[in-house]
Chains A and B, each alone.
Chain A
Amino acid sequence: NAGVMQNPRHLVRRRGQEARLRCSPMKGHSHVYWYRQLPEEGLKFMVYLQKENIIDESGMPKERFSAEFPKEGPSILRIQQVVRGDSAAYFCASSRQEGGYTFGSGTRLTVV
């Protein structure tokens, strides 16, 4: 059981580029959650997905951010036209049913 796998671990993008963050949930888990963590702050909820469905996206910025969890393959968090304020650690969690989260090690995004 490899746990929740996130890649890349570190990602550097120039302002205006696109960032794609990947999350492979634990085997058998069909619920995926994305969180963002700024330095010295707690994690902020972004989006909750099940296979092919967005359940709750109340924490997603209205523009430039999107997420998907296709029938096959990992969940993707996509940030278009990145700005410096997007620099943060992005964590993915998965669960077999609602609750019982397991978190990945995160992707550290740096926008230069």
Chain B
Amino acid sequence: GESVGLHLPTLSVQEGDNSIINCAYSNSASDYFIWYKQESGKGPQFIIDIRSNMDKRQGQRVTVLLNKTVKHLSLQIAATQPGDSAVYFCAESYNQGGKLIFGQGTELSVKP
């Protein structure tokens, strides 16, 4: 069946360090991927997305890497801050539309 999974359920980093959150996806037909941040009691917040015709995309302090050969997605957060503490989800879809398939999530904890 379809699934998107994460290698690490929890990640603890020191403030100022870089964070890397990983995600494996199973459907090679997926062509659009999104990272979301979810804080307690809130809805998912868009961080960054990437299409399958790209292997890297950068935003402000965040970078998403896509390796289609091994069906792997990662989110890199530079200079992690306490405000980055949240659960991070990757999600995949076809043709940048329709339903999103979410992974289980990784909880990022930033220590001051």
Contact = CB atoms under 8 A, between A and B. Distances in A.
Given A91-B43, A104-B43, A105-B43, A42 B96 contact: no
Interface of A: 4, 33, 35, 40-45, 48, 55-56, 58-59, 91, 97-106
Contacts of B100: 33, 35, 43, 45, 101
A79 B96 CA distance: 29
B102 interface: yes
A91 B99 contact: no
B89 A43 contact: yes
Task: Classify chain B's interface size.
Answer: 20 to 34
Interface of B: 4, 32, 34, 36, 41-46, 89, 91, 93, 95-105
B43 A56 contact: no
A101 B67 CA distance: 23
A44 B89 CA distance: 12
A106 B102 contact: no
A101 B89 contact: no
Contacts of A44: 102
Tell me which of A40, A58, A97 has the highest count of chain B C-beta atoms within 10 A of its own C-beta.
A40
